[in-house]
């Protein structure tokens, strides 16, 4: 029966929601609020990706450090191939196979280098034998000079006994005997590196067109033209750089030949060629290595001649570094002398002797390649641009004479 109110009327039906409050979910206890929260789906993948990237970076860094020597050898071989590219291309244009042309160029370079080394070695061996045979006389002359200068009473017998029984001589002999294996290993490593460079450069020069086709096949036609243009610029600049080095070697060889001939040092011509080639084509230490041999030969004639050779080598090196080399490089490679000097310093800091050798042709190639794409504008006619602050062009001598004549 429906419920009635006090007046006897039937009361309206009340819904359960109006009378009964909705059930509440139990609140989690403090400290376990995030216990049921799930990990985002992207977080495991991100962690795996981060670990993979770190591992790949470590592996790449290790591989790069292990292959640094091979990469440097390949870089040297590439620039050597660019240097002989004109000669190989000229011979191939006359109908000769490119591989045979490259082999003939390398054969000519090898014969010239071997002949020069054999001639220099025979000269050096003869001078060493002469020095050993004449050592007592040299020692007597030095002792007489010391006695007359410092008023001492030295004798050759006492000096020889002191040298034979000295501790530093024994230590030096022991270290030299122990270091024979190290020197042999370094010589073998140098020969292996030289053969590696020669092999790479041979393939780069012989398969130059195939290499260019392979690179161009990976690029669209517009990019192919840019790659071929960059290749031509690199060949031109590398050839210009070697031409400048050859000129500096010629000037250096003539200058040192004149000095050695004036001093009466034997084998002056061979020593001049040695100084010119070694000082120009062996960077960083080439100058000191080139000057050591003439000093040694000059010492066999007169100790003071060795001092004169040392002074001349130092003075000429400063003249070459700051005057001759920047001007010749600017003319043949077409870069500013300051840029050439800075590129050598930067190349030495980055790659050592290899960087010093290839810095100038690399910078010249980059500069010439970028010069074709950098937009240039006409320079406004301003006195500050022209180098003076006058209001107009500076009148010449003839204009001044005319003005003075008119003023009269």
Q: Where are the domains of the chain?
A: 69-159+191-218, 236-372
pTM of the model: 0.61
- Look at residue 4 and give its three-state secondary structure: strand
The residues facing 10 across adjacent strands are 4
Phi and psi based region of residue 350 (left: phi greater than 0; alpha: psi -120 to 50; beta: remaining): alpha
What parts of the chain have a pLDDT lower than 70? 1-37, 127, 131, 160, 163-166, 168-170, 172-184, 283-285, 330-334, 337, 353, 369, 371-376, 379-380, 382-408
Environment class of 41 (CB within 10 Å of its CB; exposed 0-12, middle 13-18, buried 19+): exposed
Query: Which residues does 49 contact at the CB level (< 8 Å), separation at least 6?
Result: none
Q: Give the SS3 label for residue 302.
A: coil
pLDDT of residue 59: 92
Angle at 159 between CA 158 and CA 163, to 5 degrees: 115
Residue 388 confidence (pLDDT): 55
DSSP state at residue 57: H
For 151-194, the pLDDT digits (tens) are 787 777 777 677 666 676 667 666 655 555 666 677 777 788 88
Residues 6+ away with beta carbon under 8 Å from 190: none
pLDDT of residue 15: 47
Question: How far apart, in whole angstroms, are the C-alpha atoms of residue 120 and residue 258?
Answer: 19
Whole-number Å distance between alpha carbons of 288 and 301: 21
Q: How many CA atoms lie within 13 A of 284 on its CB side?
A: 15
CA-to-CA distance for 302 and 142, rounded, in angstroms? 11
Residue with tokens 């002797």: 353
């Amino acid at each position: 029966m429906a419920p009635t109110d006090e007046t006897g009327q039937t009361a309206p039906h009340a819904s359960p929601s109006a009378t009964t409050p909705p059930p509440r979910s139990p609140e989690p206890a403090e400290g376990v609020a995030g216990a049921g929260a799930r990990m985002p789906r992207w977080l495991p993948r991100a962690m795996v990706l981060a670990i993979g990237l770190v591992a790949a970076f470590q592996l790449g860094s290790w591989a790069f450090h292990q292959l640094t020597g091979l990469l440097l050898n390949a870089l040297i071989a590439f620039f050597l191939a660019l240097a002989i590219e004109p000669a190989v291309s000229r011979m191939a244009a006359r109908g000769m196979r490119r591989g045979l042309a490259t082999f003939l160029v390398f054969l000519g370079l090898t014969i010239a280098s071997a002949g020069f080394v054999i001639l220099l070695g025979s000269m050096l061996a003869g001078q060493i034998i002469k020095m050993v045979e004449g050592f007592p006389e040299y020692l007597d002359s030095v002792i007489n000079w010391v006695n007359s200068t410092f008023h001492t009473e030295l004798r050759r017998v006492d000096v020889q006994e002191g040298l034979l029984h000295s501790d530093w001589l024994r230590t030096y002999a022991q270290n030299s005997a122990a270091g024979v294996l190290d020197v042999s290993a370094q010589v073998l490593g140098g020969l292996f590196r030289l053969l590696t460079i020669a092999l790479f450069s041979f393939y780069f020069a012989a398969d130059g067109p195939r290499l260019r086709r392979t690179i161009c096949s990976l690029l669209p036609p517009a990019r192919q033209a840019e790659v071929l243009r960059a290749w031509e610029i690199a060949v031109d600049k590398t050839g210009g750089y070697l031409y400048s080095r050859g000129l500096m070697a010629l000037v250096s060889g003539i200058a040192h030949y004149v000095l050695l001939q004036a001093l009466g040092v034997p084998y002056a011509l061979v020593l001049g060629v040695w100084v010119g080639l070694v000082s120009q084509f062996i960077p960083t230490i080439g100058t000191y290595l080139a000057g050591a041999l003439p000093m040694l030969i000059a010492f066999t004639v007169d100790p003071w001649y060795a001092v004169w050779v040392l002074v001349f080598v130092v003075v000429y090196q400063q003249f070459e570094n700051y005057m001759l080399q920047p001007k010749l490089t600017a003319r043949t490679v077409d870069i500013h002398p300051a840029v050439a000097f800075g590129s050598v310093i930067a190349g030495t800091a980055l790659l050592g002797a290899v960087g010093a050798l290839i810095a100038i042709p690399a910078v010249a190639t980059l500069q010439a390649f970028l010069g074709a794409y950098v937009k240039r504008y006409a320079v406004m006619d301003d006195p500050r641009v022209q180098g003076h602050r006058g209001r107009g062009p500076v009148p010449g001598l003839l204009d001044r004479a005319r003005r003075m004549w008119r003023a009269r």
